[in-house]
Amino acid sequence: MFTGIVSELGRAAAITPTDGGARITVTASQTCDGLGIGDSVAVNGVCLTAVSVSGDEFTVEAVGETLQRTNLGDLTDGAAVDLERPVEAAGGRFDGHVVQGHVDGVGVVARIEPEGTARRIRISAPSSLSRYLVEKGSVTVDGVSLTITAVSPIVESEAWFEIVLIPHTLDVTVLGGRRVGDRVNLEADILAKYVERLMEART
Protein backbone atom coordinates (compact mmCIF):
# COMPACT_ATOMS: atom_id res chain seq x y z
CA MET A 1 0.00 0.00 0.00
CA PHE A 2 1.17 3.52 -0.81
CA THR A 3 0.06 7.04 0.13
CA GLY A 4 0.70 9.02 -3.06
CA ILE A 5 3.37 11.13 -1.36
CA VAL A 6 6.37 10.98 -3.70
CA SER A 7 9.58 10.39 -1.74
CA GLU A 8 12.08 10.91 -4.53
CA LEU A 9 12.37 12.01 -8.14
CA GLY A 10 14.45 9.33 -9.86
CA ARG A 11 15.89 9.01 -13.36
CA ALA A 12 15.51 6.15 -15.82
CA ALA A 13 19.13 5.11 -16.32
CA ALA A 14 18.44 2.31 -18.79
CA ILE A 15 15.44 0.70 -20.44
CA THR A 16 16.12 -2.76 -21.81
CA PRO A 17 13.47 -4.52 -23.91
CA THR A 18 12.63 -8.08 -22.87
CA ASP A 19 10.30 -10.66 -24.36
CA GLY A 20 7.17 -8.51 -24.55
CA GLY A 21 8.19 -6.22 -21.71
CA ALA A 22 11.11 -4.21 -20.39
CA ARG A 23 13.64 -4.01 -17.58
CA ILE A 24 13.81 -0.47 -16.23
CA THR A 25 16.85 0.63 -14.24
CA VAL A 26 16.34 3.73 -12.12
CA THR A 27 18.91 5.93 -10.41
CA ALA A 28 17.59 6.96 -7.00
CA SER A 29 19.86 7.04 -3.95
CA GLN A 30 17.15 7.59 -1.31
CA THR A 31 14.88 4.87 -2.65
CA CYS A 32 17.75 2.39 -2.83
CA ASP A 33 18.58 2.91 0.84
CA GLY A 34 17.28 -0.26 2.47
CA LEU A 35 15.60 -1.52 -0.71
CA GLY A 36 15.98 -5.26 -1.24
CA ILE A 37 15.33 -7.65 -4.09
CA GLY A 38 11.65 -8.56 -4.05
CA ASP A 39 10.57 -5.29 -2.43
CA SER A 40 7.82 -3.20 -3.97
CA VAL A 41 8.31 0.32 -5.28
CA ALA A 42 5.87 2.60 -7.07
CA VAL A 43 7.24 4.08 -10.29
CA ASN A 44 4.99 6.84 -11.66
CA GLY A 45 2.26 5.27 -9.55
CA VAL A 46 2.79 1.73 -10.83
CA CYS A 47 3.56 -0.90 -8.19
CA LEU A 48 6.57 -2.92 -9.39
CA THR A 49 9.05 -5.35 -7.83
CA ALA A 50 12.76 -4.67 -7.50
CA VAL A 51 14.67 -7.49 -9.22
CA SER A 52 18.11 -5.97 -8.73
CA VAL A 53 19.61 -3.36 -6.40
CA SER A 54 23.14 -2.04 -6.80
CA GLY A 55 24.44 1.13 -5.20
CA ASP A 56 22.22 4.04 -6.19
CA GLU A 57 20.34 2.04 -8.84
CA PHE A 58 17.54 -0.49 -8.79
CA THR A 59 15.91 -2.44 -11.60
CA VAL A 60 12.28 -3.45 -12.05
CA GLU A 61 10.59 -5.54 -14.71
CA ALA A 62 7.41 -4.45 -16.48
CA VAL A 63 5.42 -6.92 -18.56
CA GLY A 64 3.87 -5.97 -21.88
CA GLU A 65 0.43 -5.34 -20.42
CA THR A 66 1.88 -2.91 -17.88
CA LEU A 67 3.67 -1.00 -20.63
CA GLN A 68 0.46 -0.83 -22.68
CA ARG A 69 -1.84 0.18 -19.81
CA THR A 70 0.44 2.83 -18.25
CA ASN A 71 2.82 5.55 -19.40
CA LEU A 72 5.86 3.43 -18.52
CA GLY A 73 5.94 2.40 -22.16
CA ASP A 74 6.65 6.06 -23.00
CA LEU A 75 9.79 6.26 -20.86
CA THR A 76 13.10 7.09 -22.47
CA ASP A 77 16.61 7.01 -21.02
CA GLY A 78 17.07 9.90 -18.61
CA ALA A 79 13.35 10.49 -18.06
CA ALA A 80 12.29 11.57 -14.58
CA VAL A 81 10.06 9.22 -12.59
CA ASP A 82 8.10 9.61 -9.37
CA LEU A 83 9.09 7.08 -6.72
CA GLU A 84 7.50 5.89 -3.49
CA ARG A 85 8.22 2.97 -1.18
CA PRO A 86 5.26 1.22 0.46
CA VAL A 87 3.89 2.16 3.87
CA GLU A 88 6.01 0.31 6.43
CA ALA A 89 3.79 0.12 9.50
CA ALA A 90 0.65 1.51 11.07
CA GLY A 91 0.78 3.99 13.91
CA GLY A 92 2.44 6.99 12.30
CA ARG A 93 1.02 9.88 10.30
CA PHE A 94 -0.69 8.91 7.07
CA ASP A 95 -0.46 11.72 4.53
CA GLY A 96 -2.09 11.54 1.09
CA HIS A 97 -4.67 8.76 0.70
CA VAL A 98 -4.78 5.00 0.25
CA VAL A 99 -3.03 4.16 -3.03
CA GLN A 100 -2.62 0.64 -4.35
CA GLY A 101 -0.25 1.27 -7.24
CA HIS A 102 -2.75 -0.33 -9.64
CA VAL A 103 -3.25 2.10 -12.52
CA ASP A 104 -6.88 2.34 -13.66
CA GLY A 105 -6.21 4.19 -16.89
CA VAL A 106 -4.07 6.71 -18.72
CA GLY A 107 -5.14 10.34 -19.02
CA VAL A 108 -3.83 13.13 -21.21
CA VAL A 109 -2.81 16.62 -20.12
CA ALA A 110 -5.32 18.84 -21.92
CA ARG A 111 -4.59 22.27 -20.49
CA ILE A 112 -2.05 23.98 -18.22
CA GLU A 113 -2.73 27.44 -16.81
CA PRO A 114 -0.69 29.48 -14.31
CA GLU A 115 -2.56 30.36 -11.13
CA GLY A 116 -0.30 32.65 -9.14
CA THR A 117 2.75 30.56 -8.26
CA ALA A 118 0.74 27.39 -8.82
CA ARG A 119 -0.49 25.67 -11.98
CA ARG A 120 -3.97 24.47 -12.79
CA ILE A 121 -3.89 21.36 -14.96
CA ARG A 122 -6.85 19.84 -16.78
CA ILE A 123 -6.55 16.14 -17.55
CA SER A 124 -8.72 14.24 -20.00
CA ALA A 125 -9.67 10.93 -18.40
CA PRO A 126 -11.07 7.65 -19.73
CA SER A 127 -14.87 7.74 -19.56
CA SER A 128 -14.82 4.59 -17.43
CA LEU A 129 -13.22 6.58 -14.61
CA SER A 130 -15.60 9.56 -14.63
CA ARG A 131 -17.92 8.05 -12.00
CA TYR A 132 -15.04 7.88 -9.51
CA LEU A 133 -13.97 11.51 -9.96
CA VAL A 134 -15.62 14.00 -7.61
CA GLU A 135 -14.80 17.59 -6.69
CA LYS A 136 -12.70 17.70 -3.51
CA GLY A 137 -12.13 13.95 -3.84
CA SER A 138 -8.77 12.22 -4.21
CA VAL A 139 -7.03 10.98 -7.33
CA THR A 140 -3.52 9.71 -8.01
CA VAL A 141 -1.70 11.17 -11.01
CA ASP A 142 1.67 9.59 -11.87
CA GLY A 143 1.81 8.35 -8.28
CA VAL A 144 1.01 11.73 -6.71
CA SER A 145 -1.97 12.01 -4.34
CA LEU A 146 -3.97 15.07 -5.35
CA THR A 147 -7.29 16.76 -4.65
CA ILE A 148 -9.67 17.28 -7.55
CA THR A 149 -10.66 20.95 -7.83
CA ALA A 150 -13.10 20.64 -10.75
CA VAL A 151 -14.64 17.80 -12.71
CA SER A 152 -16.72 17.32 -15.85
CA PRO A 153 -20.46 16.62 -15.48
CA ILE A 154 -21.17 12.90 -15.32
CA VAL A 155 -23.24 13.11 -18.52
CA GLU A 156 -20.50 14.83 -20.52
CA SER A 157 -19.08 12.53 -23.19
CA GLU A 158 -15.50 13.79 -22.71
CA ALA A 159 -14.47 13.17 -19.10
CA TRP A 160 -11.96 15.52 -17.49
CA PHE A 161 -10.86 16.79 -14.11
CA GLU A 162 -8.63 19.58 -12.85
CA ILE A 163 -5.95 19.74 -10.19
CA VAL A 164 -3.95 22.67 -8.85
CA LEU A 165 -0.27 22.04 -8.16
CA ILE A 166 1.62 24.10 -5.61
CA PRO A 167 5.26 25.05 -6.30
CA HIS A 168 6.59 22.28 -4.01
CA THR A 169 4.72 19.58 -5.96
CA LEU A 170 5.95 21.07 -9.23
CA ASP A 171 9.53 20.97 -7.94
CA VAL A 172 9.63 17.42 -6.52
CA THR A 173 7.48 15.37 -8.92
CA VAL A 174 7.35 14.67 -12.64
CA LEU A 175 4.19 16.77 -12.87
CA GLY A 176 6.31 19.91 -12.90
CA GLY A 177 7.66 18.86 -16.30
CA ARG A 178 4.42 17.68 -17.86
CA ARG A 179 3.25 19.44 -21.03
CA VAL A 180 -0.02 19.49 -22.97
CA GLY A 181 -0.41 16.16 -24.73
CA ASP A 182 1.62 14.16 -22.20
CA ARG A 183 0.11 10.90 -20.93
CA VAL A 184 -0.26 10.40 -17.19
CA ASN A 185 -1.10 7.38 -15.05
CA LEU A 186 -4.38 7.60 -13.14
CA GLU A 187 -5.60 5.66 -10.14
CA ALA A 188 -9.06 6.35 -8.74
CA ASP A 189 -9.75 6.38 -5.02
CA ILE A 190 -10.20 2.77 -3.88
CA LEU A 191 -12.92 3.88 -1.42
CA ALA A 192 -15.10 5.00 -4.33
CA LYS A 193 -14.75 1.58 -5.91
CA TYR A 194 -15.78 -0.18 -2.70
CA VAL A 195 -18.81 2.07 -2.31
CA GLU A 196 -19.86 1.33 -5.90
CA ARG A 197 -19.51 -2.41 -5.31
CA LEU A 198 -21.53 -2.25 -2.10
CA MET A 199 -24.29 -0.29 -3.81
CA GLU A 200 -24.41 -2.89 -6.60
CA ALA A 201 -24.83 -5.63 -3.99
CA ARG A 202 -27.83 -3.82 -2.49
CA THR A 203 -29.73 -3.49 -5.77
Q: What is the pLDDT along the chain (203 residues), one digit of tens a residue?
A: 898 999 999 999 999 999 989 999 999 999 999 999 999 999 999 999 999 999 999 999 999 999 999 999 999 999 999 999 998 765 555 667 788 899 999 999 999 999 999 999 999 999 989 989 999 999 999 999 999 999 999 878 889 999 999 999 999 999 999 999 999 999 998 887 877 777 777 76
Q: Let me know if 116 is exposed, middle or buried by CB neighbors in 10 A (0-12, 13-18, 19+).
A: exposed
Tell me how many domains the chain contains: 2
CB atoms inside a 10 Å sphere around CB 109: 18
Tell whether 96 is covered by a domain: no
SS3 132: helix
Residues 110 and 182 placed together within one structural domain of the fold: yes
Both 196 and 125 in one domain: the answer is: yes
Domain that holds residue 176: 105-202
CATH number, domain at 21?
Answer: 2.40.30.20
Q: Is residue 147 domain-shared with residue 198, that is, in the same domain?
A: yes
Residues 153 and 190 in one domain: yes
Q: Is 168 helix (H, G, I), strand (E, B) or coil?
A: helix
Do 55 and 133 belong to one domain?
Answer: no
Same domain (yes/no): 63, 122:
no
Does 93 map to a domain? no
CA distances from 146 to 57, 139, 176, 199, 201 (A): 28, 5, 14, 26, 29
> For the whole model, what pTM was predicted?
0.91
